[in-house]
């Protein structure tokens, strides 16, 4: 009991964000921009992007650990992310909130903007700053496209365009996205989103904590 009390005291006024590893850089950037010095961050593996069934169980354990470590304020840096409502069930179980929306591609654009264009984007392959940085590691190598480029049509044949949702203005990342569109034989569109609703959601969670 004495150890638990010590932990709780050290976390007074702290907000812990338990986020997707794909958002780590962006969450830290928002933290710096907004001066959220009382925000701590821990991330689950980015590879859960491919295994959404793993998100909820890992999130459950992470929240339990965070509470044991003395965090009274916790915010989930995930949308539903293909979990089929399981992220919401974990949030309800622990009395915490998460990012609004179905996935990061939505909240980066802002939920109102996303709702206006989501039907028109049904055949779009989204990329973000993270996915540009990790294009080879997340797509080319796991899908075997470096060894079997003929599989591109099988994996991407139903898409019409690559939409790069840019969080920053980085020519190197622009080139990755443009080259990806050429490689996949798709049209290309760049949309500068910045951090979208990630900024306002973290600001709101931090304000409630403060």
DSSP calls for 148-185 = -GGGHHHHHTT--EEEEEESS--HHHHHHHHHHHHHHT
- Statement to judge: residues 29 and 82 lie in one domain: yes
Nearest-angstrom CA–CA distance, 170 and 79? 25
Distances in whole angstroms, Cα of residue 51 to Cα of each of 56, 58, 151, 166: 11, 11, 21, 24
Q: State the burial class of residue 25 (Cβ atoms within 10 Å of its Cβ: 0-12, 13-18, 19+).
A: middle
Residue 8 is predicted with a pLDDT of: 40
pLDDT digits (tens, 9 = 90+) for 47-56: 998 899 999 9
* Cβ(138)–Cβ(128) below 8 Å: no
188 vs 126: CA distance, rounded Å? 10
Say if residue 178 is in the same domain as residue 202.
no
Domain count, the chain: 2
Clarify whether residues 73 and 27 are in a common domain. Answer: yes
Say yes or no: 21 and 98 in one domain: yes
| pLDDT tens readout for residues 87-102 | 999 999 999 999 999 9
* HSE-up (13 A, CA, CB side) for residue 100: 16
50 and 122 in a common domain: no
Per run of 10 residues, the mean pLDDT along the chain (length 210 residues) is 39 91 97 96 95 97 97 96 97 97 96 95 97 95 93 95 98 98 97 97 82
Q: What six digits make up the tokens of 32?
A: 């710096």
pTM: predicted TM-score of the whole model, two decimal places: 0.90
Note the residue count of the chain.
Answer: 210
Tokens representing residue 107 in the block: 């909240």
Residue 7 shares a structural domain with residue 97: yes
Its domain, for residue 57, covers 2-104+196-209
The answer to whether the CB of 104 falls within 8 A of the CB of 22 is: yes
pLDDT at 9: 44
Residues 131 and 96 in one domain: no
Which CATH number belongs to the domain containing residue 22 in this structure? Answer: 3.40.50
| Residue that has been written with the tokens 């206006």 in this structure | 116
């Amino acid at each position: 009991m004495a150890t638990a009390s010590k932990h709780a005291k050290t976390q007074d006024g702290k907000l812990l964000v338990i986020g997707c590893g794909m958002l780590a850089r962006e969450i830290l950037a928002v933290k710096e921009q907004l001066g959220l010095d009382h925000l701590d961050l821990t991330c689950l593996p980015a590879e859960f992007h491919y295994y959404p069934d793993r998100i909820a169980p890992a999130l459950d354990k992470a929240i339990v650990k965070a509470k044991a470590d003395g965090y009274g304020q916790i915010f989930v840096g995930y949308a539903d992310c293909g979990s089929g409502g399981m992220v919401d069930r974990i949030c309800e179980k622990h009395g915490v909130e998460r990012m609004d929306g179905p996935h990061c591609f939505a909240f980066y654009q802002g939920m109102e903007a996303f709702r206006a264009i989501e039907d028109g984007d049904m055949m779009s392959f989204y990329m973000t700053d993270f996915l540009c940085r990790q294009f080879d590691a997340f797509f080319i190598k796991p899908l075997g496209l470096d060894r079997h480029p003929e599989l591109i049509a099988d994996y991407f044949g139903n898409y019409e365009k690559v939409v790069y949702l840019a969080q920053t203005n980085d020519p190197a990342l622009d080139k990755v996205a443009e080259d990806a569109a050429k490689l996949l034989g798709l049209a290309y569109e760049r949309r500068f989103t910045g951090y979208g609703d990630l900024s306002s959601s973290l600001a709101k969670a931090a304000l409630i904590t403060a």
